[in-house]
Amino acid sequence: MLRIGNMTFHMGPSAIGGPDDLEAAILEFIAAARSSLDVAVQELESRPIAEALIAARQRGVRVRVVLEGDYLIDDNPAPDPFQAVGAHEPNRVLFNALLRTGIDARTDYNAKIFHQKFIVRDIDETGAGRRAVLTGSTNFTPTGTAVNLNHVITIRGAAVAREYDKEFREIWDGTFGTSRQRHEPKPRNSRVSGVRVKVLFAPDHAPEMEIMKQMLKARQRIDFAIFTFSQSSGIDDTMIALRRAGITVQGVFDPGQGNQSWAATRGIAASGADVFLASDRQGLGKLHHKLMVIDRQVVIAGSFNYTGPANALNDENIIIIGDIDEDSATGRQNQADLAGFAADEIGRIIQRHGRRVPPAAP
C-alpha cells in the first residue's frame, strides 16, 4: 500500500504475491462510513463485503447499491425456478440479503455491460476528508480480491467525490449508458494532495481519446498491465507509433484475452515493444488490471478495458492521476511516488508471471 496525503493505492492480491490485501482495503473503506455509501459495482459475490454493507446499514448508514443484472440471471434457467441452483446463485443470495436488511439494491438499466467498480462514501458530510471514493479494477468477488491481479484506489476529498456522486445519481435515476439523453459537461481537473486528478466516465466522455492524448505526452516510456486490449481500440495504434518514435513500451496482457485473434498483443510486440503474457502459474487467475503508467509520472487506472465497446457502450470509469507538465515540485514528487508504485507492480508481475511474446510470433 502507498498513501500520499489523501490518496491511497493498493495493489494485489497478497495471496498471489501482490503487496496488498484488496478485500481488506474495501472492508476498511466501508467500515469508515458515517452517513452514506453509494455502491456501483458489476458484481457482488464476496460475502465479507456484503456483510460489511449490511453492518453499515444496521448502524444507520444509508446504503444504495447498483449491480449488473446479468449476474443475477442464469443463461440456462433451472426447470424449477424455486430451486436455488445455478452459477450465479451466490450473487442472488447476497442480493436478497441486502434487500432483507433494508438496503435499496437495484440492477442496472444498461443493455450492454455495467462495468463500474466504485463506492462514494459520506457525500453529505462536511468534515475534512470525510467525503471519499473507492475505485479501481477490482470486482467485489472472491476471485477479484484473492485470485486475480487488481488494484484499488481511495481518494478523500470533496471535488473527486462529487464527480463520482454525480455519476451515481445518474445511474440511480436510470439516465446513463445508451439510455442517456443529456449533455455531459467537460471532465474537470481537481487537485488532491498537490496532484492533478481527472475522472472520466464511459460512454459519456469517450475515455479512449483521453488515454491517447495522455500517451502522446510521453517522453520516455509507457508501462501497462491490461486485461482486455483490442486492435480496434485506437490505443494500440498510438502505442505502436510511439514505440516507432523511440518511446520505450513495456506491458503485460492476460493470456486468455491477449491470445485472441482480435487482441493488440502481436501488433504491439511487432513494433519492438517488450510484451508479455501473464502465465497462470503460482495461483494466478487472471491479470485483471486496467493500468497504464506514463514516464513514471502519470497513472491511468479504473475499470476501463481498452476496447471499442468499453468506450462507446459500457458503463466505465477511468481516473488519471498526475500530469506530465506538472510544475509544482510537491505535486511532481507525489505523482512520481504514486506512478512509481504502479510501475513497480507492473514490473513485479512481468518478473514473476511474465512470458515474453516474440516480435515475430504468429
**pLDDT for 38-74, tens place per residue?**
999 989 999 999 999 999 999 999 999 999 877 777 7
Q: Is the pLDDT of residue 276 over 70?
A: yes
Q: Is the pLDDT of residue 15 over 70?
A: yes
Of the listed ranges 97-111, 186-200, 208-222, 268-282, the least confidently predicted one is 97-111
Q: Is the pLDDT of residue 156 over 70?
A: yes
Of the listed ranges 70-74, 77-81, 199-203, the least confidently predicted one is 77-81
Task: Name the band, by pLDDT with cuts 50, 70 and 90, for residue 304.
Answer: very high
Classify residue 80: in a domain, yes or no: yes
Say how far residue 186 (Cα) sits from the centre of its chain: 21
pLDDT for residue 361: 46
Q: Is the pLDDT of residue 148 over 50?
A: yes
Q: Is the pLDDT of residue 185 over 70?
A: no
Classify residue 336: in a domain, yes or no: yes
Range of the domain at 342: 2-356
Distance, first Cα to last Cα, the chain: 39
Kindly provide the residue ranges of all beta strands, DSSP E only, lying in the chain, ordered along the sequence. Answer: 2-4, 7-12, 36-41, 62-67, 104-107, 117-121, 132-136, 150-156, 189-192, 195-202, 221-226, 248-253, 274-278, 290-294, 298-302, 316-321, 354-356
pLDDT for residue 87: 78
Q: List, in order, residues 6 or more apart from 344 with CB less than 8 Å away.
A: none
Classify residue 136: in a domain, yes or no: yes
pLDDT tens by residue, 114-147: 889 999 999 988 776 689 999 999 999 999 999 9
Classify residue 53: in a domain, yes or no: yes
Classify residue 337: in a domain, yes or no: yes
Question: In Å, what is the CA distance from 128 to each residue of 32, 62, 312, 320?
Answer: 14, 20, 36, 23
Q: Look at strands 354-356 and 274-278 and give their pairing.
A: antiparallel
Q: Is the pLDDT of residue 110 over 70?
A: no
pLDDT for residue 362: 43
Q: Which neighbouring-strand residues pair with 106?
A: 66
Q: List, in order, residues 6 or more apart from 155 with CB less than 8 Å away.
A: 6, 7, 8, 132, 133, 135, 161, 192, 197
CB 53 within 8 A of CB 65: yes
Q: Which neighbouring-strand residues pair with 154?
A: 8, 134
How far is 304 from 154, CA to CA, in rounded Å? 17
Number of domains in the chain: 1
Query: Which residue is it, cell 442517456?
Result: 180
> Percent of the chain beyond pLDDT 90?
74
pLDDT for residue 314: 80
Q: What is the mean predicted confidence (pLDDT) over 224-228? A: 97
Classify residue 361: in a domain, yes or no: no
Q: What is the mean predicted confidence (pLDDT) over 80-100? A: 83
pLDDT for residue 111: 60
Q: Is the pLDDT of residue 299 over 50?
A: yes
Classify residue 362: in a domain, yes or no: no
Q: Is the pLDDT of residue 9 over 70?
A: yes
pLDDT for residue 176: 52
What's the whole-model pTM score?
A: 0.92
Of the listed ranges 28-42, 77-91, 135-149, 161-175, the least confidently predicted one is 77-91
Mean pLDDT over the full length of the chain:
91
> Percent of the chain beyond pLDDT 70?
92
CATH of the domain at 19: 3.30.870.10
Q: Which three cell numbers stand for residue 92?
A: 442472488
pLDDT tens by residue, 325-358: 999 999 999 999 999 999 999 999 999 999 999 9
Of the listed ranges 35-39, 161-165, 195-199, 310-314, the least confidently predicted one is 310-314
Classify residue 83: in a domain, yes or no: yes
